[in-house]
Homo-oligomer: A and B are copies of this chain.
Amino acid sequence: MARTAAALIIGNEVLTAKVKERNGAFLIERLRARGIPLVGVYVVPDDVDAIVETLSLARRRAQLVFTSGGIGPTHDDVTVRAVALALQRPVVHMPEIVKSLTKAFAPATVPPEAMRLAEAPAGSRLIEGPRLKYPVLACDELYLLPGVPELFEAQLETVLDGLEGQPVVTRLVFLDAHEHEIARVLDAAALAEPEVEIGSYPTFDPAAGYRVKVTVEHVERARVDAMVERLVRELPKAAVLRVE
């Protein structure tokens, strides 16, 4: 079983509709494609308490945690401090970043506000990648990604390159039925094979050409095929429009 992941999208700008958030949707798509199960995406403000509390929840539910945003030198960039608190570690300066900053500002000394960019929870590491403008800041299985979408996307791809996943096989059964007419068959099937994921999605759009879409998922194709066969056999004949 692949390790599970969760994500924190950090930023007042998202919760106040000042930006259209897109890192969450990108992460959902990419983790799915890589076969890493995602158990939660939490959008939280630039607030240390809120981040610490939500991180604890995310870490109870998932092995890998990604954060987006709150990385930078201004007062509203609190992610590093919050992660350090959640992990009960001090904030330290990363020597590699101090070195880059020193070089970038030479011959002047690095201003204290810029030096904040070198801060990280103790025990952090940097992950370099060929497509990266800045390296990824990682602490154990926690990846602190920047909120700027171009940077977020490149850093996420670099992290995913180093992780193992198990892509999921999905098949679909389209039905002309009300959900309550198929609930008993789905209940029994889900109970008999709890590891095979069965979803039931009604639509109220007459143009959709069906009334309920049933999804069947597992990492093993044979188990998905067997479940689709079972459903087609047990559901009312007239209700099954097509199988994909």
Contact = CB atoms under 8 A, between A and B. Distances in A.
B39 A186 contact: no
Interface stretch (A69-77, A221-229, A235-243): A69-77
A210 B184 CA distance: 59
Interface string A150-178: 11000000000000000010100000001
Contact of A17 (B18, B32, B116, B181): B32
Interface stretch (A121-129, A137-145, A194-202): A194-202
A201 B13 contact: yes
A17 B14 CA distance: 20
Nearest to A215: B18
Interface in A42-66: 42-46, 50, 53-54, 57, 60-61
A183 B73 contact: yes
Given A17-B29, A28-B14, A180 B117 contact: yes
Q: Is the interface of A mostly helix, strand, loop or mixed?
A: mixed
B168 A16 contact: yes
A28 to B, nearest CB: 5
Interface residues of A, number: 69
A55 B74 CA distance: 31
B148 A204 contact: yes
A244 interface: no
B197 A12 contact: yes
Nearest to A47: B39
B12 A199 contact: yes
Contacts of A168: 16
Contacts of A199: 12-13, 18, 46, 76
A217 B75 CA distance: 15
A99 interface: no
Nearest to A110: B180
A25 interface: yes
